[in-house]
Amino acid sequence: MNTVMTKACPPPIDKAVVFIVGSPRSGTTILGEMLGRHQCICQWYEPYFIWDHHFRHWPHDERSAEDARPAVVAQIRRDFRRYRDRSGASLIVDKSPRNSLKIPFIKAIFPHARFIHLIRDGRDATLSIHREWQRRRQIVNDPARHRRFNYGRAFGVLQDWLGRQPLWQDRLRSLWFETHGHLVDKRKHLNRKRWQGAVGWGPRFRGWERQYDDNRLLRFNALQWLKCVEAVRDAWDSIPPSRRLDVRYEDMLRDGRRIVSEIIAFTGLDASGSFLDGLPEMNKNNFNKWQREFTPDQLNMVRSVLDPMLGRLGYDIAYPG
């Protein structure tokens, strides 16, 4: 996170926040990190301990405008203002895929916020979501440790997650929020309290329990992509065009500097040549992995979930054979 103090008086917090929304594994992390290199921007990586302070025991991650009660609004705005003031930046970029399910709620708290929807081919996103679920299941039942819990790998996940909070105050708050009451209980590690004891990851859409019980995991992961994208598209027209921006992950792979420059302009800032030259290179071949890695049976399992939205978004769903 940038720590350079800006000389200009920062705008009111309501006009100083940009939200990157979209399904997990759609490139939101790398986009947030690139924007966070700008001297006037501080990125806030998934501050769920802020968003869910009043909703810790809710069974899903969806929020409505009615959920933005006065105490909730005051707490979230206060925490965002504190984070911006501590960073010395003028603009906060919040990268939180679960916020895809909260746009009416966010708008009620920050009526003048800007939104960036990062869209990725749902087949590639589903493949990557599925890998993360498998990784976490292997930590809990590690084949190399006779199906026992791997504390070392679990600690690595925790360390990486806490390390993304630049302020020690937020690391402690995040740790307390996520582990309160079960810090030494391995049966609840890796977000299992969120998933009713199961090993899970990512957004919980309303009614996820029925889908998780009734469908195989890969199909459930496809539903996670779909529900996030549907929620954003359903809310999109309620956001003024000047405060919303669609970005394709595949376009970012092809021409990242141009896309980031357009995003910076969208936020109302300027992108200097030195800023753009310092952006990391992206793997231009990081797309269409599903064509190589999905088996025919796996592809058939997710097509009925993904294809209607993929077609609506303009992706090619004409499969060979």
**DSSP per residue over 239-252, as a string?**
S-GGGEEEEEHHHH
pLDDT in tens, 37-48: 999 999 999 999
> Does 291 or 180 have the greater pLDDT score?
291
Lowest-pLDDT range of 159-163, 170-174, 180-184: 180-184
Q: pLDDT at position 185, please?
A: 57
Identify the weakest region by mean pLDDT among 151-165, 186-200, 264-278: 186-200
pLDDT band for position 160 (cuts 50, 70, 90): confident
Q: Within a 13 Å sphere around the CA of 202, how many CA atoms are in the beta-carbon half?
A: 28
CA gap 134, 153 in Å, rounded: 13
Mean pLDDT in the chain? 89
Strands (E), 170-290: 244-248
Cα–Cα distance, 164 to 155 (Å, whole number):
14
Name residue, tokens 């329990």: 209
Q: How far is CA 176 from the centre of its chain?
A: 21
Q: Closest by alpha carbon to 294, among 83, 86, 131? A: 131
Tell me, what's the pLDDT at 6?
41
pLDDT of residue 268: 93
DSSP strands (E only) in 142-296: 244-248
pTM over 0.75: yes
Residue with tokens 């049976």, as numbered in its chain: 297
Tell the residue number behind the tokens 């690139």, with chain if given: 34
What is the distance between the alpha carbons of residues 192 and 138, in angstroms, rounded to a whole number? Answer: 14
State the average pLDDT over residues 152-156.
74
Whether the predicted pLDDT of 143 surpasses 70: no
Distance of CA 205 to the CA centre of its chain: 14
Residues 267, 290: Cα–Cα separation, whole Å: 33
C-beta neighbour count of 76 within 10 angstroms? 21
- Eight-class DSSP state of 27: S
Nearest-CA neighbor of 164 among 55, 314, 265, 28? 28
Residue type, 81: R
d(CA 126, CA 219): 9
User: Residue 94: which of 57, 157, 50, 160 has the closest Cα?
Assistant: 50
Alpha helices in 88-150 (DSSP H): 103-109, 122-140
Say how many CA atoms lie within 13 Å of 125 toward its Cβ.
30
Alpha-carbon distance 275 to 266, whole Å?
Answer: 16
Phi, psi of 318 (to 5 degrees): -90, 100
- Compute the distance between CA of residue 214 and CA of residue 6 in angstroms, rounded to an integer: 52
How crowded is the C-beta side of 291, counted as CA atoms within 13 Å? 10
Q: What is the mean pLDDT of residues 125-141?
A: 88
What does each C-alpha distance from 98 to 5, 25, 182, 265 come to in angstroms?
A: 30, 12, 23, 25
Mean pLDDT of 147-175: 80
